Amino acid sequence: MDKFYLNIKNETSRLKAVVLGTAKSNGPTPKVEDCYDPKSREHVIAGTYPKEEDMILELDAFENVLKKYDVIVFRPEIMEDVNQIFARDIGFVIENRFIKSNILPDREEEFQSIEYIVNHLDPNDIIIPPEEVHVEGGDVMPWNEYIFVGTYTGEDYKQFITARTNKEAIEFLKNLFPDKKVVKFELRKSNINAKENALHLDCCFQPLGKGKAIIHKNGFLIEEEYQFLIDLFGKENVFEITKEEMYQMNSNVFSISEEVVVSEQNFTRLNTWLRSHGFVVEEIPFAEISKQEGLLRCSTLPLIRD
């Protein structure tokens, strides 16, 4: 592999290269006490935790769609018995920089599997935040002149295994990108109730092409922060999802371009709305992976867009 240059300015410009997570050698079903999100926990308790072979098929379907649009798809190196589905969170790209996440300690080792890609970047473009900065890619959304960041800054931050991006991360991103407007959003957190938990910003909000966006109001703790997004996109451009739709991860679709969105095949109301606004919707099955509280955006780490 030759050296290559990163470029990500937003969520929707034509995608050229991406890392797509893998479910191979995902490890055994975790113990209840080892789950780090409420939806996985719920499925472990119910005996319905997803099977590796089913999740492999879902990621294969995703890879096929990406390849159909001539996207270069990198996969993580397979580590034995390590969950490597959610590539989004382990690092993220803004402009030409790769920022390594300071992820939940339970997920730290996942980074090794993409080091072979990161090693091909210009070392000056690789940013390693200091220890006190907690940040995961699911909470960070470059949106042209903005960087939207999901966070939780309550005194009880440490009690939430579902709170992954702290206030130090906001300051860190402001300093790293002084020309961007870093806007933070306090998210609702619950360790045990997935319907009351916005694990990351991309679990309750996502900008789409053509000036549209998806949002779930209850994911936001502060009304004005939610309202900021409604005002920015315009009420008529926003698809508001219900609690149940957030739980099914409807905000976690993935844009290949301004017009093309990869979505889950059961998201009937959303997919109909998208098509009625002229989007091409590539439907794939992803309901098994969804049981781990992540979906299509969470499984990708975009490296290059136009």
Ligand X SMILES: NC(=O)NCCC[C@H](N)C(=O)O
Q: Which residues neighbour 119 within 8 Å (Cβ) at sequence distance 6 or greater?
A: none
Query: Residues 88, 134, 212, 291: which binds ligand X (CB under 6 A)?
Result: 88
Q: Position 45: which residue type?
A: I
Q: Give the contact letters, 122-141, x = binds to ligand X (CB under 6 A), - = no.
A: ----------------x---
Asked if 90 interacts with ligand X (CB under 6 A), we say: no
Phi, psi of 49, deg, nearest 5:
-60, 140
The label of the residue with tokens 């580590």 reads 79
Report if residue 200 touches ligand X, rule: CB under 6 A.
yes
- Which residues make beta-bridge pairs with 214? 206, 239
| Beta strand residue intervals within 14-70, DSSP E | 15-20
The answer to the question of residue 37 lying near ligand X (CB under 6 A) is yes
Q: Is 219 in the site for ligand X (CB under 6 A)?
A: no
6 — phi, psi (to 5°)? -85, 155
d(CA 48, CA 39): 11
User: Which of the stretches 74-82, 234-242, 270-278, 289-297 binds ligand X when contact is defined by CB under 6 A?
Assistant: 289-297
Determine, following the binding rule CB under 6 A, whether residue 288 of this chain makes contact with ligand X. Answer: no
Longest dimension (CA), the chain: 49
Assess 76 for contact with ligand X (CB under 6 A).
Answer: no
Return the range that interacts with ligand X (CB under 6 A); candidates 8-16, 34-42, 73-81, 281-289.
Answer: 34-42
Task: Name which of 189 and 305 has its Cβ closer to ligand X.
Answer: 189
Report residue 166 as tokens: 């702290």
13 versus 101: smaller Cβ distance to ligand X: 101
- Residues interacting with ligand X, by CB under 6 A? 36-37, 40, 86, 88-89, 107, 138, 199-200, 202-203, 292-294, 298
